[in-house]
Amino acid sequence: MIAPSADNFRQIHRLPSPRRPSWRSARALLFALLCTSVPVLSTLSASPARAAGAAEAVADRIAQGNALLNDWQLDEAAAIAAELDGQLPDVPPVQALLGAVKFHQGDFDSAVRLLRRAAEAGEAPALLPLAESTLEETRGALSKESAHFIVRVPAGKDEVLFPIALQALEQAFERITAAFDYVPRHKIAVDVLHDARGLAHVSSLTEKEIETSGTIALCKYNRLMVTSPKALARGYSWLDTLAHELLHLIISEKSRNTVPVWLHEGLAKYNETRWRGAPGLALDAASENLLARGTKTGKLITFEQMHPSMAKLPSQDDTALAFAEVFTVIEFVEKTIPEKDGKRATNILLETLANDATMDEALRASTGRDLAGLQRDWRQYLGKRAFKLVPGAEPKRLTFVKDARGAGPAVDEAEEEAALKEATERGAAGKKHVRLGNLLRERRRLKAAAVEYERAAKITGVTSPALHNRLAGVLLQTGDVLRARQWLDKTVAVFPDDPQTRVLLGRLAVRDQRWDEAQKQYERATWENPFIPEVHVALLAVADKTGDAALKTRAEDALRALAGHAARQVDDPLFVMADAPAGALSLRSEPWGRVFVDGVDTGRFTPVIDVRIAAGRHVVRVEDPVSGRAASATVDIAASRTRAVQLVLQAVTEDERRALLAAEAALRPPPPPPPVVDAGVTAPPEGDDDKPVPPWLLPDDGYGAEARPP
């Protein structure tokens, strides 16, 4: 779900810009001027009348500066603020204006200092609380710049976003500015926030509104604000979102902030894919289903309901439907109204609105109809439009993780939960098969797990991708490449943006040594979730095979950023208390693979360099997710010493794998005893997922008659 832009756009028909001075009156401003330094007094001391006139002039300039900020004309507002600051640096209203400009420029520290100084005069600027919370939320952020952007991210794993974001933003800038015939004159600040709480701290939205509507980004205060993909359990289309918010900024500046929400969102949604291809590619299968259903029943979101912000809509489904509607409004305009003098109708519309026209006047000039006529003709267009319906496809639910500022869920954990949730929504039968598949997979009964996942997939259909990814991944591990490819082809056709589907397609390409295709698929996964370690390890392997030095550098930088992020203590087998005896482990393998320590998935991939590990004996295993090859070693770690291990992965039989798992299990501490209630009676398990594993889950993977569920 793409987020709305600013939540203070004017009503559906344009209202005049506020022109009131930020100070209450010229008389109050005059008093402030007279309370400042002697050099200022000398400019106003000729006569009370001239002093009052000067105060009126300053008040007008301050009002003009604020109006320009409201109209998204940052450069002009900054020039006025700088001029006034040069003349009257100690006057609170001037400090308040300059502080507002600094805030819009992304200099939050200077903004807070100036706004606090202005508040000392007794009238605290309304912007001060937001500036303070924004400063606190972005404290410690790291930044990198490109030709047109300054991107700031929280220190840690979010540093992996830098090269991906800057490249996509520059592509978006080039193509979108050309399409809209408008080029911003200032560098554009982009703030990446930890999570929904962070986005709430830098905006006027509440955390509840953000999570209810699925809002993950905003364009306001002349900058872009996006939630890190790590805040969502399976990521989200964050690069499309960056382009979407850039469009909001360009639309606001070009039109002087005269565009209503429905038009803003329609233009942004329809054009957000320009950074990577043609416009009009953003309507997915689930959105088409929603729109077709709404068109048939007549239950559509009105333009009035979209005001003042899509983020105020009561559910993610309503938000998705609203975006689908406004997408097709622009689709209707672009496809049915010819250019005039080489200009598209939408550009004429924006330029006309910028010249103080009403919405009806601007629509007549650009489309030949007023707003009522546009709505009527669009609904007729919608009634005849052919929809690509995918039965059962539902909008992707954005699930905000609870620990985005910590480690968050591991990829396998997120995929397992998503697959179970998908099946649960389709009934108890699908849930049962997925649960059994998960248990079998965990016990390395891969063929049996594939059978259960396939049974669940036949029940649920291609309604969402996690279950199909689970099935395809297991089929790949068992060597059934043909069936894995068939399931992935079905999935990617309906859900082209799913990151795990792209990872699995990348594995297939690596298996076939199609290096260009592997790079394409793994890089495509970063458009939704750039925090999957396998992606960057695989890209490093591709770089080695192809001699791509630039790709190698990017992959190495990404792996350093991810490795530098501390994992959750409770789940990380490599976590060691600071005062506990520990050594270091360096682990390499040929080919690369996923690292297990004492049977626990670390979430890391080889190479692992000098990672801290508890002193003592450990079993280290590496598995290749592409071919299923594996290797293990028993290592003794001495305190304050480094142990280097090099493994060559080989095919293993099921008997060998089970022996390896048994050796790992012997090193793990025993599970805690079950809870006990009165009279020594063991408390019953809570919920279906806590029931004991049936004994028929234990036989071999042949899944013959003796292994089938009763």
The mean per-residue pLDDT over the stretch 15-26 comes to 41
Contacts of 103 (CB under 8 A, 6+ apart): 111, 115, 127, 130, 131, 134, 221
CA 303 from centre of chain = 26
Phi, psi for 501 (deg, rounded to 5): -60, -40
Contacts of 610 (CB under 8 A, 6+ apart): 584, 585, 586, 642
| Any domain includes 210 | no
Q: How many angstroms separate the CA atoms of 369 and 361, rounded?
A: 9
Here the CATH number for the domain that contains residue 76 is: 1.25.40
Q: How many angstroms separate the CA atoms of 528 and 524, rounded?
A: 8
Query: What ranges in 35-105 are assigned the alpha helix state H?
Result: 38-44, 48-70, 74-87, 92-105
Q: What does the pLDDT read at residue 560? A: 83
* Whether residue 392 has pLDDT greater than 70: no
| Any domain includes 576 | no
Q: What does the pLDDT read at residue 96? A: 95
Structural contact between residues 467 and 419, judged by C-beta atoms closer than 8 angstroms? yes
Structural domain total, the chain: 3
508 plus 543 within the same structural domain: yes
Q: What does the pLDDT read at residue 15? A: 33
Q: How many angstroms separate the CA atoms of 84 and 384, rounded?
A: 58
* Whether residue 446 has pLDDT greater than 90: no
| Any domain includes 375 | no
416 plus 559 within the same structural domain: yes
| Any domain includes 304 | no
* Whether residue 46 has pLDDT greater than 70: no
509 plus 601 within the same structural domain: no
Q: How many angstroms separate the CA atoms of 174 and 47, rounded?
A: 55
* Per-position DSSP letters for 404-471, written without gaps between them: TTTT---HHHHHHHHHHHHHHTT-HHHHHHHHHHHHHHHTT-HHHHHHHHHHHHHHH-SS-SHHHHHH
Structural contact between residues 128 and 121, judged by C-beta atoms closer than 8 angstroms? no
What Å distances lie between residue 56 and 40, 63, 677, CA to CA? 15, 10, 79
Q: How many angstroms separate the CA atoms of 190 and 97, rounded?
A: 22
Q: What does the pLDDT read at residue 699? A: 42
Least confident piece of the model among 237-241, 268-272, 660-664 = 660-664
Indicate left, alpha or beta for 703 from its phi (over 0: left) and psi (-120 to 50: alpha).
left
Phi, psi for 556 (deg, rounded to 5): -65, -40
For residue 76, the number of C-alpha atoms closer than 13 Å in the C-beta half-sphere is 15
Give the highest mean pLDDT range of 21-30, 38-47, 294-303, 667-676: 294-303
447 plus 527 within the same structural domain: yes
Cβ-in-10-Å burial (0-12, 13-18, 19+) of 558 comes to buried
- Give residue-wise pLDDT tens across range 452-498: 999 988 888 777 788 899 999 999 888 899 999 999 999 998 888 99
CA dihedral sign of residues 72, 76, 82, 83: negative
588 plus 528 within the same structural domain: no
537 plus 599 within the same structural domain: no
Q: What does the pLDDT read at residue 239? A: 97
494 plus 545 within the same structural domain: yes
Phi, psi for 187 (deg, rounded to 5): -70, 140
Q: What does the pLDDT read at residue 416? A: 67
Choose between 336 and 13: higher pLDDT: 336
Contacts of 662 (CB under 8 A, 6+ apart): none
557 plus 613 within the same structural domain: no
Structural contact between residues 637 and 583, judged by C-beta atoms closer than 8 angstroms? yes
499 plus 422 within the same structural domain: yes
Find the helix packing angle between 533-546 and 499-511, rounded to 10°.
Answer: 30
Q: How many angstroms separate the CA atoms of 386 and 292, rounded?
A: 9
491 plus 595 within the same structural domain: no
| Any domain includes 62 | yes
Rounded to the nearest 5 percent, the helix, strand and coil shares of the chain are 55, 10, 35
Which of 138, 162, 187 marks a domain boundary?
138
Is the bond into 308 cis (omega within 30 degrees of 0)?
yes
Host domain of residue 511: 411-563
**DSSP secondary-structure letter at 127?**
T
600 plus 551 within the same structural domain: no
Query: What ranges in 315-427 are assigned the alpha helix state H?
Result: 316-336, 345-354, 359-367, 371-384, 411-424
Structural contact between residues 454 and 441, judged by C-beta atoms closer than 8 angstroms? no
* Whether residue 19 has pLDDT greater than 50: no
**Confidence band, pLDDT 50/70/90 cuts, at residue 610:** confident
| Any domain includes 472 | yes
Which of 138, 161, 196 marks a domain boundary?
138
- Give residue-wise pLDDT tens across range 555-588: 989 988 887 554 444 456 677 777 788 898 989 8
Tokens coding 145: 């710049």
* Whether residue 39 has pLDDT greater than 50: no
CA 257 from centre of chain = 26
Closest CA to 560 of 151, 156, 142, 162: 156
Indicate left, alpha or beta for 120 from its phi (over 0: left) and psi (-120 to 50: alpha).
alpha
Phi, psi for 340 (deg, rounded to 5): -120, 120
Query: pLDDT > 70: what percent of the chain?
Result: 82
Q: What does the pLDDT read at residue 123? A: 79
- Give residue-wise pLDDT tens across range 248-300: 999 999 999 999 999 999 999 999 999 999 999 988 888 888 898 988 888 88
- Give residue-wise pLDDT tens across range 186-205: 999 999 999 999 999 999 88
Closest CA to 438 of 407, 473, 408: 473
483 plus 521 within the same structural domain: yes
Is the bond into 92 cis (omega within 30 degrees of 0)?
no
Which of 138, 156, 187 marks a domain boundary?
138
Least confident piece of the model among 10-24, 30-44, 538-552 = 10-24
Closest CA to 195 of 180, 210, 178: 210
**Confidence band, pLDDT 50/70/90 cuts, at residue 607:** confident
| Any domain includes 611 | yes
| Any domain includes 295 | no
Here the CATH number for the domain that contains residue 644 is: 2.60.40
